[in-house]
Amino acid sequence: MGFIAIYITHANERSATKVANFLVEQKLVACANIFPMKSAYWWKAQITSDKEWVSIVKTRTALWSKVIQAVESVHPYDVPCIMKFEVEANTAYEDWIRDSTIDPAE
């Protein structure tokens, strides 16, 4: 089957938890992992270094567009980082992801 893991950055743990819970409640993702990190990036013509939080959420490939829309509707960043990775896992885990998310055909 295969599925996608989506990497999303956040300013703080509260924001990461809010976005993750929203996606899980909507059944757009099966689960989310949240952890702290440090980032360096260009913003407004200068290099910025910040502590951020990242969430990695897992879902069906067909829900990618819906996840983007949902994240953008609640994320506080002007330009949120929302990246997808196509991945595979053991059959039981992939079945659990499918069973834990909405059917995009409905």
Query: Looking at residue 95, which CATH number applies to its domain?
Result: 3.30.70.120
**Which pLDDT value is given to residue 104?**
86
Residue type, 60: R
Tell me, yes or no, whether 60 lies in a domain: yes
Check: CB of residue 102 under 8 Å from CB of residue 63: yes
Tell me, yes or no, whether 72 lies in a domain: yes
Tell me, yes or no, whether 36 lies in a domain: yes
pTM of this structure: 0.91
Tell me, yes or no, whether 106 lies in a domain: no
* pLDDT tens track for 30-78: 999 999 999 898 888 999 998 999 999 999 999 999 999 999 999 999 8
Q: How far apart, in whole angstroms, are the C-alpha atoms of residue 102 and residue 5? A: 16
Tell me, yes or no, whether 105 lies in a domain: no
Tell me, yes or no, whether 58 lies in a domain: yes
Mean residue pLDDT across the chain: 95
Boundaries of domain holding 88: 3-41+48-100
Tell me, yes or no, whether 70 lies in a domain: yes
Residue 88 has pLDDT above 80, yes or no: yes
**Which pLDDT value is given to residue 22?**
98
- CB 17: neighbour CB atoms within 10 A? 15
Tell me, yes or no, whether 78 lies in a domain: yes
Residue 3 has pLDDT above 90, yes or no: yes
**Which pLDDT value is given to residue 70?**
97
Q: How many domains does the chain have?
A: 1
